[in-house]
Amino acid sequence: MADTIFDVAVLGAGVGGYVGAIRAAKLGLNVTIIEKDSTLGGTCLNRGCIPAKAWLESADLLYHIKHAADFGVKVGEPTFDFVAVQERRQRVVDQLVGGVSALMKANKITVFNGKGVIASPTQIKVTGDKGESVVDAKNIIVATGSTPKTLPGLELDGKQVISSDHIWDLKAPPKSVIVLGAGAVGVEFASFFNDVGSEVMVVEFLPAMVPNEDKDVCTELERQFKARGIRCLTGAKLLPETLKKNMDGVTVEVEQKDGRQTVSAELLLVAVGRGAIVDGIGLENTKAVVERGVIKVDEHFRTAEPTVYAVGDAIGGIMLAHVAEAEGDHAAEHIAGHHPSVLDYNRVPKTTYTRPQIGSLGLSEQQAKDAGHKIKTGRFSYAINGRAIIHGETRGFAKVVAEAETGEILGVHIIGHNASELVAEAAMARYLEGTITDIGTSVHAHPTLTEILMEAALDADRRSIHFFRPRG
């Protein structure tokens, strides 16, 4: 293997890395992938989106069993077996990780287990259990991912003050938890712990929950969380210097505009974002530039070093697994001499798996206005959709933001049951350069939740059948 010169060496076997590797291999290139962890799949498969959604699925089932009598199904009081939940979560992870390993073999991708450090624009030094080796490659794709952040002065101890990396070691749900940060990670765990019986408080520095979403979605999520008994402190600053630990958990002061208060919980979960892994990987041995903590790339994900590409969380932007997939795919095609279309991030769907779910893409109403667009908006409620009523899931809405004259889709924002699936139609419409008229006049099956987006699109033109809004 020492004499082999690979066409592509991928540093990191997370979603962006392994997808890039597979695409490159399918295009006829000789590919290797280097991963420091003992398993492939990176954060998403091992300690991120997949295990989190496995937890949330168990919590969702618990919630629906508790409300089975509403549907005429009588069962005894359900119990929550956290050990069994953890075992199922691990089975899900193992199955998917095994699938990635099988794909590596099927596509004849050479896997190196060990820490990779870029030694030159065409070499990576790998240090593993079997010693050191040097991988030669014509091109390198950096897909090193990210790691949880914390606040200055707020040390993660992995026991009482934890990140999303530590959470999988829990032996039981905490009696109470403070979740610091109301982004996707924070609110998903807040939703889970509330459903399984924990007392939950969310502390968010910015003025709204899920602050990157449309304002109406932020308001709706906070309303529904509060109705579930989740305390939501927005515009709140947690003061790390006031943190105290004791046998029962932690106490810490939180400051809002009307003063300070001391809050306590068994556990403090820090979910204030993720930082790209760019240090210690040898970028200094290339011309690649790190700017504001992420690797700077062009529209084809190529760094200032022509043979070095970077994708996924390492380049910042929208830190989602499916975004990393698209970037890895694009980089591989570009290396192979193809001419892939530049990725339009405004057509990338974002999903949050709280109860209720959130699905969105593109610009919020305010962002569209700030960008100078003349807009029109439409909205439709789950409460008047037949399928939602049948499901017993009547809380939430779909909202569309469109260019006033052309009907071009600028943004779609859905909060409610299965929103993560419903947003796919909007993503396809945006990809095909469709308009809200295309969505609204396309015939949708009845009764389905998809009619919610159809009616929202019709409402933007004041044509909704099942929702009256005066013209003008």
- Residues with active-site annotation: 446
The amino acid at 330: H
Dihedral, CA of residue 67, residue 70, residue 76 and residue 77, to nearest 10: 30
Q: Is the dihedral of CA 166, 172, 173, 175 positive or negative?
A: negative
d(CA 247, CA 363) in angstroms, rounded, equals 46
